[in-house]
């Protein structure tokens, strides 16, 4: 891994778009605020829009978080704007001039350039060709960041890779999946392999079931035209949730070396069984029970007979020595009762013997919001009672760590990784290939089925009504109502003298 020095150039292509304004530039500002970005670098926004420098500043600064006015002012001094097309050399020649003038002014012997494609995938090939032709440093370092989606299916992913591979080496490409930059996802390796408490029981002998769930409390809200061609499986399951599951199930890498980590991710993906189209739940949200929230089909940007999947739950089986026989469920949905992403690992029951009835242990890792790790354990009720209760060992980040403790947002973390040349949290080409091999047959069977039955669920609900039975059928045991309390502050009546 080679970190950039003091003098480098960052170019955000697609600088006038929402992704750049809401995520990329705020992330760069966050790094600058925390002194993780050189004060001597230059940052260039590139787009087709005719923007004045002032308009550009106003657009990229509206989502900045933290920092005082002086900090914002100093950051914007590093930034400038270049107008240009994505399919013509002229604009990229303007970029080349900016590069060379900057590098000459600061006596830079080895050019260091980062180009971030905050663009639709349809432009990737054209833009990459012009980057290679016009601004590729003959004696220097270039890092090209590509946003998901990395293709629509296996064929399109292969076509994209085929077009980019001759232009840049794999070391020069950073395929960004922002979930790999989230604090709790980055913590999974340490949690698993840095604690014998967990490492020793992380297998089929002790774990009964695993769930990775994604819940959004809002629907498409007028952007269904985009979502209608994507669906929930492509939007978050083929990428975000699969990435989380591979980190949960891969073998221990020999080191924190990026390639060692990515090697293990690919190995476990190759052990995944084909997804069973007959063993899943697919749904689409309907109007809320009070009628105040619209159904998916009420969105004027989608067809009235759309079969777009807004909720999906399916099982994953991994055929290797560690996981064979452990049921795993990935589930994701829009327009649900809350916004949350979490992992639930439920352990097998202890032998009854001395216990007539006792609950299962469960490890819960909340990725967002309010990062937390907690373990459900059985404990004796305090006092004279001899009964047990289900309680927690709780690590909630907001309670454990000071508010002044900087936890980078996902894009901040990943952009810092790019600057340091760390590929560990980015998707490698062979990993992308294997993931699409898994998902493309499932998507084809669902999307080519004219009789596909989508279970309707009310906007703001927990999801399809069959979900509870589905989870029970895949190894998850629900805690009985009223038996899990946190905090437990009063003794049970039986525990009183």
The DSSP string of 4-37 is: --SS-EEEEETTTSHHIIIIIHHHHHHHHHTT-S
SS (H, E, C) 445-475: HHHCCCCCCCEEEECCECCCCCHHHHHHHCC
List residues with catalytic annotation: 240
Per-residue exposure over 106-134, b if at least 16 CB sit within 10 Å of its own CB, e if not: eebeebbbbbbbbbebeebbebbbbbbeb
The SS3 of residue 76 is: helix
Q: Residue 120: CB partners within 8 Å, gap ≥ 6? A: none
Look at the block and give the residue holding tokens 């002032």: 54
Return the number of other C-beta atoms located less than 10 Å from residue 213's C-beta: 20
Residue from 400, 398, 378 nearest 388 by CA: 378
pLDDT of the residue at 495: 42
Distance CA 46, CA 54 (A): 15
> CA of 272: how far to CAs of 165, 268, 432, in Å?
27, 7, 14
Residue from 372, 343, 322 nearest 211 by CA: 343
Q: What is the pTM of this model?
A: 0.90
Distance CA 121, CA 348 (A): 44
Return the number of other C-beta atoms located less than 10 Å from residue 62's C-beta: 11
Which H helix or E strand runs over 57? helix 53-61
Residue from 96, 119, 94 nearest 14 by CA: 119
Joined together, the tokens standing for residue 122 give 């349809």
Return the number of other C-beta atoms located less than 10 Å from residue 347's C-beta: 16
Look at the block and give the residue holding tokens 């083929």: 238
Distance CA 479, CA 103 (A): 63
Residues in the chain: 497
Which H helix or E strand runs over 207? strand 207-215
Mean pLDDT by 10 residues, the chain (497 residues): 90 93 95 96 94 92 92 96 93 95 94 94 93 93 92 92 94 92 92 92 96 95 82 94 96 93 96 96 96 93 93 96 96 96 94 79 93 89 81 86 81 95 93 96 94 95 95 90 53 43
> CA of 181: how far to CAs of 192, 286, 348, 422, in Å?
17, 33, 31, 12
Q: Residue 362: CB partners within 8 Å, gap ≥ 6? A: 344, 345, 346, 347, 375, 376
CB 43, CB 12: distance < 8 Å = yes
Q: What domains does the chain contain, in order, with CATH numbers?
A: 9-147 (3.40.50.720), 181-473 (3.30.360.10)
pLDDT of the residue at 234: 94
Q: Residue 402: CB partners within 8 Å, gap ≥ 6? A: none
Taken in order 396, 401, 402, 404, is the CA torsion positive or negative?
negative
How do 388-396 and 207-215 pair as beta strands?
A: unpaired
pLDDT of the residue at 488: 47
């Amino acid at each position: 891994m080679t970190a950039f020095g003091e003098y480098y150039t960052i170019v955000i292509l697609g600088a006038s778009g929402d992704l750049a304004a809401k995520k990329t530039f705020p992330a760069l500002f966050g790094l600058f605020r925390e002194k993780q970005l050189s004060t001597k670098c230059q940052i260039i926004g590139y787009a087709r829009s005719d923007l004045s420098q002032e308009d550009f500043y106003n657009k990229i600064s509206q989502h900045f978080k933290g920092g005082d006015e002086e900090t914002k002012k100093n950051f914007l001094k590093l930034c400038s704007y270049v107008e240009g097309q994505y399919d013509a050399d002229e604009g990229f020649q303007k970029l080349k001039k900016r590069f060379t003038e900057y590098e000459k002014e600061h006596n830079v012997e080895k050019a260091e350039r980062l180009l971030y494609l905050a663009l639709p995938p349809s432009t990737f090939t054209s833009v990459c060709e012009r980057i290679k032709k016009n601004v590729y440093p003959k004696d220097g370092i270039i890092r090209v960041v590509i946003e998901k989606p990395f293709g629509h299916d296996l064929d399109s992913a292969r076509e994209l890779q085929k077009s980019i591979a001759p232009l840049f080496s794999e070391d020069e490409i950073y395929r960004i999946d922002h979930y790999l930059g989230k604090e709790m996802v980055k913590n999974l390796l340490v949690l698993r392999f840095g604690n014998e408490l967990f490492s020793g029981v992380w297998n089929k002998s002790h774990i009964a079931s695993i769930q990775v769930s994604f819940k959004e409390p809002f629907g498409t809200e007028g952007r269904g035209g985009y979502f209608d061609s994507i669906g929930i499986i492509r939007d978050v399951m083929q990428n975000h949730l699969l990435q989380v599951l591979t980190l949960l199930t891969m073998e221990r890498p020999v080191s924190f070396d990026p390639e060692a980590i990515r090697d293990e991710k690919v190995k476990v993906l190759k052990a995944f069984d084909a997804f069973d189209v007959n063993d899943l739940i697919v749904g689409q949200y309907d109007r809320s029970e009070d009628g105040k929230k619209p159904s998916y089909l009420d969105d004027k940007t989608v067809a009235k007979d759309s079969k777009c999947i807004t909720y999906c739950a399916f099982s994953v089986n991994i055929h290797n020595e560690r996981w064979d026989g452990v049921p795993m469920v990935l589930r994701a949905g829009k327009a649900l009762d809350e916004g949350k992403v979490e992992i639930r690992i439920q352990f097998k029951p202890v032998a009854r013997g001395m216990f007539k009835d006792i609950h299962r242990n469960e490890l819960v890792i909340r990725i967002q919001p309010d990062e937390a790790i907690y373990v459900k354990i059985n404990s004796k009720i305090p006092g004279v009672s001899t009964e047990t209760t289900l309680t927690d060992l709780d690590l909630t980040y907001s309670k454990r760590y000071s508010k002044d403790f900087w936890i980078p947002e996902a894009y901040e973390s990943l952009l810092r990784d790019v600057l340091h040349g760390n590929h560990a949290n980015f998707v490698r080409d062979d990993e992308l290939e294997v993931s699409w091999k898994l998902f493309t047959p499932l998507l084809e069977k669902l999307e080519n089925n004219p009789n596909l039955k989508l279970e309707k669920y009310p906007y703001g609900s927990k999801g399809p009504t069959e979900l509870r039975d589905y989870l029970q059928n895949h190894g998850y045991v629900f805690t009985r109502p009223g038996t899990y309390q946190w905090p437990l502050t009063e003794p049970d009546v039986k525990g009183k003298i």
